[in-house]
Amino acid sequence: MKSVISVYVENKYGVVARITGLFLRKGFNIDSFTGRETDDERFSRITISLNGDDFVCNQLINQLKKLHNVKQVKLLKQDSSVERELMLVKVKNTPENRNEIMAAADIYRAKIIDYTTDIMCVEVTGEPNKIDAFIKVMKPLGIIEMCRTGVVALERGSSIMEK
């Protein structure tokens, strides 16, 4: 089962190493790990996506809460949160597949951000399953290179993480 955990931390040296070290010690694999400073430069918000059942997630959340500089940890429920991801993908641009790439970009609300006679670079944002679907469409057309940011997520509505 895919889970997303949001971690609000002090923006201090070594915090990321302690968090990833916890996952290493517990033997859990991280699907994606994103983080950046918040509107308050003293704090960062980290979003971790992983596969694991409720027991595993609760165990990790309890361990994360014990780490120095961690202010709040929250499991984000899929039905009450918004998830997004960004991907950049370079695809072979040939006269035979050019229209198909442009049509797929239009359907998926993607942007062509670089265009040469032999390569197109496309930017896609959305839920991870949308990104996965776009990859399936592009594979037969010739993916040259791609890069994904990983999941970022917020709870829906007025719920916020406390500082």
pLDDT digits (tens, 9 = 90+) for 85-109: 999 999 999 999 999 999 999 999 9
pLDDT (tens digit per residue) in 117-155: 999 999 999 999 999 999 999 999 999 999 999 999 998
61 plus 125 within the same structural domain: no
Residue 118, domain member (yes or no): yes
CB atoms under 10 Å from CB of 152, counted, come to 20
Question: 58 phi and psi, to 5 degrees?
Answer: -65, -40
Q: Is the pLDDT of residue 162 over 70?
A: no
Which pair of structure tokens corresponds to residue 162? 């406390």
Range of the domain at 14: 2-76
CATH number for the domain spanning 132: value is 3.30.70.1150
Is it the case that residue 160 has pLDDT exceeding 80? Answer: no
Q: Is the pTM of this model over 0.75?
A: yes
Q: What backbone torsions phi and psi does residue 7 show, to the nearest 5 degrees?
A: -125, 125
How many domains are there within the chain? 2
Shared domain check, 8 and 67? yes
The band of 77, judged by pLDDT with boundaries at 50, 70 and 90, is confident
d(CA 94, CA 22): 47
Q: What pLDDT does residue 124 have?
A: 98
Among residues 76, 91, 117, the one where a domain terminates is 76
How far is C-alpha 28 from the chain's CA centre? 17
In this structure, the answer to whether residues 59 and 94 fall within a common structural domain is no
